[in-house]
Amino acid sequence: MKYFYGPVYSRRLGFSLGINLFREKTCSFNCVYCQLGETKRRRKKRAFFIKEDIFKEELEKILKSKPKIDYITFSGCGEPTLHENLDKLIKIIKMRTKIPVCLITNSSLLYMKKVREELKEIDLLIPSLDAPDEKLLRKINRPVKGISFSKILEGLIRFRKEHKDKEFWLEIMLVNGFNDKEEVAYKFKEIIKKIKPTKVQLNLPLRPNPSVKIDFMPSGVLIEKFKKILGENCEVVEFRKSKKRGKVIEKEVILNSLKIRPQTIKDIAIVLKTSEKKAEYFVENLIKEKKIYKVIRNKKVFYLAK
């Protein structure tokens, strides 16, 4: 698949079929905490990054295999709103399935009227706002020239006013030593009153930035204090589950993924975001349960769902 990945189990969205519009990380930000590392392709100008006919073919193939999907999500390795005519891609999805469409954005281009109009048919918008002012925006998100805090805030407020019927989950990534202080929480509280999101989600940098050797995870005490200041409409995005439940989820992720295409152990490990050894453990269990089987092609072992 060129543009789709998963379905993978998401902490917020359940089984999410991801859409990646870029061959390599392409973004208007260069966030200090980003798990994808340094942004080499930094831009603000929108362009066409994918071919719609291939997008359509891939989606139809996936839907035909009937994997479990709770959301179809624009995310991937970059800022999805950099792609021109997103509304056409959303329309392609909506014409073929009733599965809700989600878009995760860094909010940098929402000040553009055209971008906001293109997103009018989505079901859920998850925009991020990691800084309550220009100074912290420069330190945490390090945007390209032409992106300012005032523009980001303007875009968030305008989108919310124009699309009141949409689910709108405002995300704040709490970053140790940057925006996890009490006084910052109070600044956010005032800004949130202006935006009026459906809810606020405090996200945590669980996966490290490979470019730096810094622990960006804030302390539990600060997280709880931050949450308390922001109020009842705020929740912490966590991924705590029992070992038994975890195994069930991981097996289902593998099955969903193999329904779409045959995969190697390495492929499965990438989908699970785990080691190849652990992926082998789940694969062996699924073979014993007679839910999957293996074939050898070009001296490589591939696994398929029955």
d(CA 222, CA 183): 12
Q: What is the average pLDDT across 51-79?
A: 93
Cβ of 90: how many Cβ atoms within 10 Å? 20
d(CA 195, CA 49): 30
pLDDT of 30-57, one tens digit each? 999 998 889 999 999 999 999 999 999 9
Structural domain 243-305, CATH architecture: Orthogonal Bundle (1.10)
Q: What local confidence, expressed as pLDDT, does residue 7 receive?
A: 84
| Segments of the chain assigned to CATH 3.20.20.70 | 4-236
Residue 80 near residue 19, CB atoms below 8 Å? yes
Q: Is pLDDT of 127 > 50?
A: yes
Q: What local confidence, expressed as pLDDT, does residue 122 receive?
A: 97
* Average pLDDT in the chain: 91
Percent of the chain whose pLDDT exceeds 90: 69
Q: Is pLDDT of 155 > 60?
A: yes
Q: Is pLDDT of 163 > 60?
A: yes
Q: What local confidence, expressed as pLDDT, does residue 161 receive?
A: 97
d(CA 301, CA 167): 43
Out of 3.20.20.70, 3.90.1750.10, 1.10.3470.10, 3.40.640.10, which CATH number does the structure's domain 4-236 have?
3.20.20.70
Q: What local confidence, expressed as pLDDT, does residue 209 receive?
A: 80
Residue 300 bridge partners (DSSP): 297
pLDDT of 213-260, one tens digit each? 788 989 889 999 999 999 999 999 864 443 444 566 778 778 877 877
